[in-house]
Each structure stands twice: as C-alpha cells, then as structure tokens.
Structure 1
Amino acid sequence: MTDLGGDLIPRDRVTDKIAEAWIGGLKWNSALTMPVFERLLAADDRDDLNYWLSSRPLDREMTAAVVASPLIKHRLALIEHGRLDVDAFAGLARDPSPRIRFQYAVMAGEYGRRVPDGVPEILAGDSEARVRAMSTLWGLPLHVRARLAEDEDARVRGRALTPELWAHLSAAVRETLLADPEPEVREAVAAILSDGAENLPELEPEPPLTPEERVGSADRFVRRDAALDPDVPTALALRLAEDPDDEVVLALSMREDLTEEQRAAIAYVVPHGYHMLPPWIEERGHEPAVARRAAASGHVLLRRSIAMQRDLPADVVDLLARDEDFFVKLTLCQSCDRAPHELVVEMYAYWHGLTWSFLRHHPNFAKPGLARYADHPNERLRGAALHDPDAGPELVMKLIDDPHVGGSAVKDPRLPTEELVRRLTVPGSAWYAAANPALSPETMHRLLDLAGVARTGAKAD
C-alpha cells in the first residue's frame, strides 16, 4: 500500500470541498480497515446520505459496528443490504427501536439469507405486535407458533396459523379460533380448512376442476395454469391455441410436451420485458438434456429461459452465444458463469439497460488483452481496458484525463504514487483518489485528520 507520509499534503491545500471528497471517496475504498471505517461512521452524522452503507461490501466486523451505531439511519441502511454476515446482522432483532426491529423482521430472510437459530423466537417474543406478526415468516417452531395463535393481537393470531399448526392444536384452541371475532383470524382458519384440514361440515372443500373444466373456464388464470400443466393432456391443452388471451396462448407455447412443429403452429406473442419461466425449465434446467432441448428450440423464450442457468454445458453455451436474439445473448452474459469473454465485453459495450455496468463483475470479463481498447471511440470499451490484469501504470496514466473513464483510472491501484498524491488535491479527482485501494491505513487516517474527523474511540490499525 502507498503511504503518503505526513507532509505531502499541506493543510492549506485542504478546502471544505476537498475534505468532503476525501470522506466520500474513503467510504467506497475497498481497502478500508476497521479503525478507518469507525471514523467514517462517526463522521457520517454530517449528512443523511447512507447509500454507501447499504451498497458497499461490509464484513462481519463492519456489520456489527453498524448494528451498534447510535444513529438509526445507519442501522436502517443495513436492511436493504443484500450481502451481509447474517449473524452480525441478526443483532437488529434486539434493536432498541421498534421501527428497526420491524424492518429487520420483514427482511431477515430476504436475498436468500439464512435466519440464524433462535432469531425467529426472539422476534416472536417482541413487545410490538407487528414484529411478532412478521416473525411467522421465518420458520418458527410449532410450540412458538402455537403461542402466537393465542396472541392478544388479531394480526399475530391470523399469521401464526398454518395447516401443520392446526393439526397440532388442541380442540379447545381450535374452537376458540373458529369463534374468533376478528375477520383476519376467521379468514386464516377458513383458508386452512379449505385446504383439507379438519373442518366443519359447512366448510367442506369444493371438488377440484377436471382438465376439461379448467381448459373451458371463464377465468383466464385458470386457463393459463391449465395450458402449462403437464397433467392436462396435450391434445386437450392445444384447444387453447385459439384462446383470446395472449398470456394463455404464450403459456401453451412453452409446454414441455409439444413438438417443435406444434410449437411453431401456435400464434403466440413474445412480450416485452420479463416473462414467466416455464416450470420444467425452472425445475430441471440444470439437466444437460433439458438445456440442450431448450437451447435448440425455435421458441425464443425457451432459449432466453435456459440462458438464465448459471452453469450450462459448453456446447449449449456455444449455441446460445451465437443466437440471433440479442436478449438470449444478454441473458447468457448476465446469468451464466461460462459466457464467453468476447460476448460479455460486447454486451458491456453496447447494452443500454440499467444493469450494463454489472457485467464487468462477470468471471470472464477481466482478461489479458483488454488494453487494446484504450483508444476505442466507445467510452465503455476504454473503461474495459482498465480491467486488463496485465496492463501497467502507462495504461492508467493514458486514461487518467479521459472525460468518461478518468475517474476509474484515478481509483486504479496501479496509479503511480506521485500522481496519486497530486490527484488528492485536484478538484474533480480528489474523491476518486481517496477511493484508491493503494492508500495505506496511515494515509487514510491522515486524510481524515486533515478533513477534521475526530479520532475519538477509533482503534489503532
């Protein structure tokens, strides 16, 4: 790391704007040590912008520090963070603020996060009814759920009820719930009984619709589900080819049991934007035979669907990478780790959707040879040149004043030390220079000293 020393940046060069830029850049520096991070937290009471805490990588120790922060805005920022140490994050289950505990209860298991053992029970015992109600989302043991089924709050009672719990409740508790005065509780009970749990005679479940009734239903959602259901015979389902609803026809066209000739004969409409994933691809798209069949289909949505798989056979990747449909290739690059380097770079350069910049994080993006784009008229490709792992300081210096990618060059750890020092006091570059991971912890502390950020409570690096 680069240590700039104590005298290379005179105090008289540090304006308020430069100091603000240093603080902002350091917040995004990937080489932050814990003491520097703690100083930044302490300085963060200067504004209400906490996007950095909900977006930058936070390790377990950093997460714990934010959980312990006295500022509620810091703790709230963690709620929307998708990549946290779940055990440190779980400290919010005991937060002094009911608002934080509620938000944590809602989001504890989102983004595929594991909810640590014991946390649902903590939430289920919360003094706030809305927190107890949300605790039912995250795998409560039956004895805890049974306690909530007798909670004083109707929302909690209603949300606690499940068919599994109903089967374990005593007759007395069931009778009480059946007679509950609150509509939300009675509705929860009725939903359980309609699914076939022990019920009263007047609540006997209706017999299921036959395949013929489903195909002929007046409800378009029933017909759409029938169109996709493999239990509905193919010949019967094909009657829906003339359905007046485009979604029904589209669902029919993506059935697994159709031949390509049958599929091509259906006048389906390809919608703009996202589309439903056929169940057979969602469930078995990882199987090579399923992947090969979908990738070779004439139905563009089947090809786009299989391109969503993270791991695909090499021959399938090759076929999809040469697809005539732009979105098949884009989806492959966004989802599949084996998408070829050249295609990923092409999509990065020419895709204008909001997620274009994420493609630079693809495992096949940064490769030797990207430096050849340093003079390219496409600004994104010039930026891609900085991801060449074999390029040296000369490339960084070549791009440092580029109006589009110069900031990225200033953040590049290959930037020569003397230029990094200079850029720390150049308006427009100071933020990027402070975000450069080549800065040593000592230098980061020096920048914060000059910016007027106190060291109170900060540990030594």
Structure 2
Amino acid sequence: MSELRGDLDRLIGDERLVPEWLGGLAVNPALPASVLARLLTVERLPAYSSSWLVARRLDRETTVLLVASPRVDHRLTALENSTADVDVLARLARDPEPRVRRVYAATAGDFGRRIPDGVPEIWAADSEAQVRRLAMQWDVPIGLRARLAEDDDASVRAAALTPEVWPRLSPAVRDALLGDSEPRIQNALARMFPPAPAPRPEPEVRVGDPDPFVRGRAAQDPEVPTVLALRLAEDPDDSVRLSLSMREDLTEEQRAAIAYVVPNGYHTPPRWIVEGGHLPDVARRAAASGHVLLRRSIAMRRHLPADVVDRLAEDEDFFVRLTLCQSCEDAPHALVVDMYAHWHGLKWTFLRTHPNFARPGLARFVDHPNPRLRHAALDDPEGGPDLVLRLIDDPDVGCWALRDPRLPAEELRRRLGVPGSALNAAANPTLPTATMHRLLDLAGVTAVG
C-alpha cells in the first residue's frame, strides 16, 4: 500500500488528471458508499459523468446518502434510479421542497416499485393539491380515496373518483358531486358511468364503410367471415389490404393474392400471434409464411421452438433476423454476434447484453479489423489478462479494456497516472477503496465524516 501511495503522490500537481479521476470514479460500478459520499460534495463533476447517479446501482446505504443530500438535484435523481431502496425513498414524501414531493408522488410506482405503507396517507395530507392529486394514480386505500373525493380542490376530487369508491360515499357527497359543474368532475363521472355502447354494425356494413379505419378493423376482425373480408383484397387503401393480408384464417395462396404493401418501420403484430405465438403450431405457421410481417411478428417472441429459431435465423429478410436477435433469447450466438458486428441502427450495443452473446472463442477476434468484434473479444469468458493487455491501447476498444476487471493491478495503477487513460482506469471495478480515497485526496475533495 505504501508503494501505491507513493506512486499516486508523484501525480500531485498534474491538473489534467483530476477531471479524469473524478469522472472515472463517478461511473465506477463498484463505488462504495464512503467514496460516493465524498463525490456528492463536488459541486460540478465532468460533463461526461452527468448521468452517473441515474445509471449506477444503489443499495440501501447509497440511497440514504442521496435522499439525505442537501442538494435537491441529488434527491430528485434518487427517484430516477430504478434500483433505489423504496423504503428509503419514502422519506421524500415529507421532503421540505415541494418539487421533490410532487415528483415522488408522480413517480413512486415507476419501475414496478411498491408504495410503502403509510406513504399514501402522507400524500393525502400534503398541503399541495398537486401532490394529493398525483397520489391518486397509484393503488391507494379506498377509504383514502373516499376522503379525498370531498377535497377542497376539484382536481383532487376528480382524481379520487372511481367506480369502486362511489358506493363508499355518503348520499350527500354523491349528490354534491353529481351537481358539481366543474368540468373535471363531470369528465370523471362520465368515465365512471359511460353511456351504453351503440350496437355494433353488421360485418357487411363495416366492410363497406367509407372510413378506411373502420374497413381496416373489419379486415382483421375474426368475427367477419373470411369470404366477406376478402372483398377488401382490392381495397384502394394500403393499410386495409395490409390488415387483411395478416388475418389468421387466410391460406398462403390467399395472402399472396393480396397486393399489400410492407411499410417501413415498426409494425403492430396481429392479435392472433400476440395471443397465440407461444403455441408451437402457431409459431411454426407464422415462421413458414411468405408474409414477411408475420415472420417478423413471431420473431418478437421471447422464446421459440428450436426449429422455428433455426428457420428464422436463416430468413432472407434482414429485419426478421434482427428482430430475432433483439427479442428472442434463443437466437443463436453466431447470428447475434454477426448482427452486433454489422448492424448500424439504433441501440446496436444492446445486442451485447443478449444471453447468447458472450461465449468462449470470442477472443479470436482480438486482431479483427472490425472494432466491434475486437470489443466482442473482451466478452470471451475464458479470456485472461493477456487478452486485455493486447487491447489496452486500441484506439477504439482500449477504454473498455482499461475498465476490465482482468486488467493486472500493476498496469491499472500505472494507467491512473497517464492522461487519456486515467478516467477509464478510475472506473475499473477492481480499484481498491483506499486508492479511490487517495485519488479524491489528490483531487482536493473534502473528506466526509
């Protein structure tokens, strides 16, 4: 340790390294609470670490640090982090800053988080009507809703009204609400007691409707007989013919006879695939279809039979193969790596998180001319320190090699003093806590506690 301290002390006065150390520590996934506490005292971290608190994993101890921070932006950031401890976040229901209380009431259930016991009652008593109203979007006790249906603020009263709460209200309160001319109350009542739906037109009427939207709905409605729906095969509207072409009850010959146009961009899968795509027979039928949108639709399934995966992996359509890699956990390793290497669309890096991406043998790409494949080499689980060292000065991949936990400690220590490498070295999760604190000392960051 004394040798390490001496190495770092020789860097005192090199101002080029300070922003790199701070920026690297901010994104270090193994940052302990003691180091985080010191970083929270830094008024302005380097621009490239602006989202550091949102992206990092928080445990109870680090959530406490953010929620207790005197800075409003830190407390708000805790609410944006999906890993923050929900019981600690509950303290923000009583935050002195109204904006924090409003954001908490608006986002408390985001990411599937539970609402801690007692929090709805705190919201219901908040001095700000907006907090009381926002709280009503969550699953709060029905008795609390009934109480807020009598709130002084019309927006709160309207938000509290549901079919379940209505019988809990006294006759006097119901009469007052029914006679309330406030538009928000009237709209809430209309949602609770909608008029009876108009009788559904006969299928033949819908097929002949002048509105292409109505005809398109009829084209894909299984209650419309096939023979009747096929009248739309010559419809002048592209969307109507496309909807018809994806009906479940058509033969492949009938589909091929429709002059449908495949649109660019994302498409909505037909309901029969959404609801029945988990069934092997449905998956096989869609995968074998000549209709490319049916093949793309079934490729969206998280899991598929092995023979369906094999067929889709060899599909002539690029987007069938891409969709398989993006959505199906069974997509083959070779295809996922190939798509990662050559696809230039949005979120191509997402493919590296695919469960079939990392495999022994990727190290063979260490000298490949494609920088993405050199990056993939680092995902070889059998690759050792030598693999990392070969890529450490790569202009495209070196930053990731510096963050790799297989990087030898001696090289990691040396790179902390090299401008251009220090940031990624400081982000390496194997960096000892004592070294992190020493970097903060050298950067002039105040010690905490």
Instruction: Tell me the TM-score normalized by structure 1.
Output: 0.89
Offset at residue 192 of structure 1 (A): 2.5
Give the letter for the 2:152 counterpart.
Answer: E
RMSD: 2.5
Which residue is 1:20 aligned to? 19
Shift of 1:350: 1.0
- Counterpart amino acid of residue 29 in structure 1: N
1:347 Cα offset (Å)? 1.2
- Give the one of 299, 307, 319 matched to 2:311: 319
Higher-RCO chain (CA-CA 8 Å, sequence separation at least 6): 1
**Structure 2 residue aligned with 1:201:** none
Contact 2:12-2:442 at 8 Å conserved across structures: no
How many Å apart are 1:23 and its aligned residue?
Answer: 1.2
Q: Residues of 2 paired with 1:298 and 1:91: CA distance?
A: 57
Retained in 1: the 8 A contact 2:220–2:247?
yes
Return the alpha-carbon distance in structure 2 between the equivalents of residues 23 and 404 of structure 1: 22
Which residue pairs with 1:294 in the alignment? 286
> Which residue of structure 1 aligns with residue 7 of structure 2?
8
**Partner in structure 2 of residue 150 of structure 1:** 150
Unpaired stretches in structure 2, ≥5 consecutive residues? none
1:328 aligns with 2:320: yes
SS of equivalent to 2:273: helix
Shift of 1:427: 1.2
- Structure 2 match to 1:38: 37
The one-character-per-residue Cα deviations of 1:36-78 (angstroms, maximum 9, x if unpaired) are 2222222255578641111222233323322222211112223
Look up the equivalent residue of 1:96 and give its one-letter code: P
Gaps of 5+ in 1: 197-204
* 2:180 is the alignment partner of 1:180: yes
Read off the aligned partner of 2:153 and give its amino acid letter: D
Q: State the AA in 2 paired with 1:320.
A: L
Q: Aligned in 2, Cα 1:269/1:124: closer, same or farther, shift over 3 Å?
A: farther
SS in 2 for 1:266: coil
Q: Which moved more, 1:282-291 or 1:211-220?
A: 211-220
Q: How many aligned residue pairs are there?
A: 448
Alignment correspondent of 1:339: 331
* Cα distance, 1:392–1:4 mapped onto 2, change above 3 Å: farther
**Residue equivalent to 1:307:** 299
Contact 1:4 1:443 in 2 (8 A): no
C-alpha deviations, 1:69-111, integer Å up to 9, x for none? 2211112223433444444444433333222222233323334
Residue 105 of structure 2 aligns with an amino acid whose one-letter code is: A
CA distance in 1, matches of 2:254, 2:363: 49
- Once the two structures are TM-superposed, the CA of residue 147 in structure 1 deviates from its matched residue by 2.3
CA distance in 1, matches of 2:447, 2:352: 36
CA distance in 2, matches of 1:321, 1:114: 40
Match of 1:375 in 2: 367
Q: Note if contact 1:214-1:226 (Cα within 8 Å) is conserved in structure 2.
A: yes
CA distance in structure 2 between the partners assigned to 1:313 and 1:35 by the alignment = 49
Letter in 1 for 2:193: L
Contact 1:166–1:174 under 8 Å retained in 2: yes
Where does structure 1 differ by over 6 angstroms across 4 or more consecutive aligned residues? none
Shift of 1:218: 4.2
Q: Counterpart of 2:173 in structure 1: which amino acid? A: V
Distance change in 2, residues 1:149/1:252 (3 Å) = farther
Give me the whole-angstrom Cα distance separating, in 2, the residues matched to 1:4 and 1:282.
62
Question: What percent identity do the matched residue pairs reach?
Answer: 62
Where in structure 2 are the equivalents of 1:369-448 lying within 5 Å? 369-448=361-440
Greater CA drift, 94-103 or 351-360: 94-103
- Give the TM-score normalised by the residue count of structure 2: 0.91
Q: Match for residue 220 of structure 2?
A: 228
Output the CA distance in 1 between the equivalents of 2:279 and 2:116: 32
Counterpart mapping for 1:66-105 below 5 A: 66-105=66-105
